Amino acid sequence: MTELVFKVEDSLAEKFKEISLQKFQGDEALAFELALKPLLSKDELDMLRFEQIEDEVEANGGITEEEIDAHIAAYRRQKRMRQLI
């Protein structure tokens, strides 16, 4: 994780802290992430989500090639079923 330091007006910093406390239980990283998301392109959002998934998979011990193949096959089956409906 990277630490960012911004110089902003005191009133803006206080408002950000207030919002992060009220809406995100003081999680300023989450508040910043959600504030930034509307400014990102679809490709950037997709890459951000991919990185989050990658981190989750790694934190849970990884995934084998066989598991990946099984998930892809299941996804394709579901997609075909949706197309038939």
What is the residue extent of each domain of the chain? 10-41+57-84
- What pLDDT, on a 0 to 100 scale, did the predictor assign at position 47? 87
> Both tokens of residue 24?
């995100």
- pTM, two decimal places: 0.51
What DSSP character marks residue 55?
H
Average pLDDT, consecutive stretches of 10 residues, N- to C-terminus, the chain (85 residues) = 89 94 94 88 87 90 92 93 86
CA-nearest of 44, 68, 41, 43 to 57 is 68
